[in-house]
Amino acid sequence: MENFEFYTPTKVYFGKDMHRQVGEIVKSYGYLKVMIHYGSGSVKRTGLLDEVTSSLDKSGVEYVLFGGVQPNPTLALARKGMEICEKESVEMILAVGGGSVIDSAKCIADGVGNPGKDVWKFFTKEDAPAKALPVGTILTLAASGSEMSASCVITNEEGGFKRGFNSPTHRPLFSILNPELTYTVNKFQTGCGTVDIMMHTLERYFTVSRNVDLTDRLAEGLLKSVISAGRIADQKPEDYEARATLMWAGSLSHNDLTGAGRNVFMAVHQMEHELSGMYPRIAHGAGLSALFCSWARFVCPYAAERFAQYAVRVWNCEMNFEDPMKTALAGIDATEEYFRSLGMPTSLRELGITDEKFGEMAEKCTFFGERTLPDFIDLDAPEIETIYRMAYED
């Protein structure tokens, strides 16, 4: 087990009707003016926005509205949000939506908290935020785990760069998790969310750190539970328990619990960022689903026992003691079959792209040769390109 720090100060309010208390909750922290940040308008159609503003009104909390976040949130929109916060003297940002909205809110929060600094430099690691406006969330999509994490991913449209950075400054102060708010999430987005949640744990699980049995077992338990709930939510979108499992697992999958004691790098996420950075219409979960199994098959020979453990404990595969590699591959096959059963793509070809940009994406992924993607082996640009091609041919 590696040394680690664990810090999850986000207060979670989980369950039915919880979002109706948002006014009281915001006020309990002493904030009286918020910016409600949201997406393309579904929160208006479902009536959620009205419920939120009505709760804020009741508690005497003022608000300004700022919507328009798209999947793969952009730097340009975040810069607009910073202007509004400054002009309106906003005290906290209330993100009502999924990971894109929350990440946009985090970026705005870092920008406003550090006047005079260029917020993009936080993403390129040239600078770091000293503080941020507080962020609270009302989650409407179980997927990114952004509601409890220190991470934030933004796309800079100039150059098609999608970059993430972690900072304690923007970790949400509180998150309101009402599974009922995800009943309206469609089949495809539910599948994307299920894959994203699994991947946040899988990418922590598949690392070289040894003797992390406790973290392993928590990860395996979470995965089993998500696999089952994902199937149910796919078939019965209004199953409260399945939606609740996905929502809580989404938070736990990315708050570091399933990576404690492991050196975590998340190679597939890095590869996917280049993919949806280049093709912003590709949903993050779909990109992960199309890439994971090819990455896994490429690195599996270097970690057959670990992939076998996954196969046996998560997928109930029989262990082949004579040839553990067979068990390892059976676990990857089971994962692929599961993703497909949710209607998720398991090849890049299905995403409707060509194979022309794979070289460029691989170069970008290594920051043009400045890094490799480590784990069981260090992946350099040619190897990353090979994996993109494997994922295309699959």
CB of 16 to a copy of itself, least distance (A): 6
Q: Which is nearer to a copy of itself, 74 or 335 (CB)?
A: 335
Identify the H or E element spanning 179: none
CB of 233 to a copy of itself, least distance (A): 13
Structural contact between residues 24 and 13, judged by C-beta atoms closer than 8 angstroms: no
What is the Cα–Cα distance from 108 to 175, expressed in whole angstroms? 17
CB of 352 to a copy of itself, least distance (A): 35
Q: Which residues bind a copy of itself (CB under 8 A)?
A: 1-9, 11-16, 18, 211, 213-214, 216-218, 220-222, 224-226, 228-229, 240-241, 244-245, 248-249, 252, 257, 260-261
What is the Cα–Cα distance from 314 to 334, expressed in whole angstroms? 10
Q: Which is nearer to a copy of itself, 91 or 220 (CB)?
A: 220
- Amino acid at residue number 165: F
Strand 161-166 relative to strand 151-156, pairing: antiparallel
- Concatenated DSSP letters of 96-146: EESHHHHHHHHHHHHHHHSTTS-THHHHTTSS--S----EEEEE--SSS-T
CB of 244 to a copy of itself, least distance (A): 5
Q: Bridge-partner residues for 163, per DSSP?
A: 154
Q: Which is nearer to a copy of itself, 5 or 322 (CB)?
A: 5
Q: Which is nearer to a copy of itself, 173 or 286 (CB)?
A: 173
Q: Which is nearer to a copy of itself, 144 or 245 (CB)?
A: 245
CB of 304 to a copy of itself, least distance (A): 22
CB of 318 to a copy of itself, least distance (A): 16
- Residue among 107, 170, 174 at smallest CA distance from 136: 174
Identify the H or E element spanning 65: strand 62-66
CB of 294 to a copy of itself, least distance (A): 28
Measure Cα distances from 238 to 33, 45, 142 in Å: 34, 18, 14
Q: Which is nearer to a copy of itself, 256 or 272 (CB)?
A: 256
What is the Cα–Cα distance from 216 to 173, expressed in whole angstroms? 28
Q: Which is nearer to a copy of itself, 24 or 83 (CB)?
A: 24
